[in-house]
Amino acid sequence: MSILPHSRVANPPHAPPDPAAVAVHALQPDQYLTDGTNLYRSLGAIAGGMGQMIGLENCRSLDVIIVPIGEVRPGELRAVTPRES
Q: Above 80 in pLDDT, residue 66?
A: yes
- Is 41 a domain residue? yes
pLDDT at 11: 44
| pLDDT for the residue 23 | 61
Overall domain count for the chain: 1
Residue 5 lies in a domain: no
Residue 73 resides in a domain: yes
Residue 4 counted as domain residue: no
pTM for this entry: 0.65
Q: Is the torsion defined by CA of 65, 2, 5, 38 positive or negative? A: positive
The pLDDT of residue 41 is: 93
Domain boundaries, position 58: 19-80
Domain assignment present for residue 29? The answer is yes
Domain membership of residue 7 (yes or no) is no
pLDDT digits (tens, 9 = 90+) for 7-58: 444 444 445 555 555 566 667 888 899 989 999 999 988 877 778 888 999 9
32 membership: H or E segment, kind and range: strand 32-34
User: Is residue 71 domain-resident?
Assistant: yes
Q: Specify if 32 maps to a domain.
A: yes
Rounded to 5 degrees, what angle do the CA atoms 37, 58, 79 make?
60
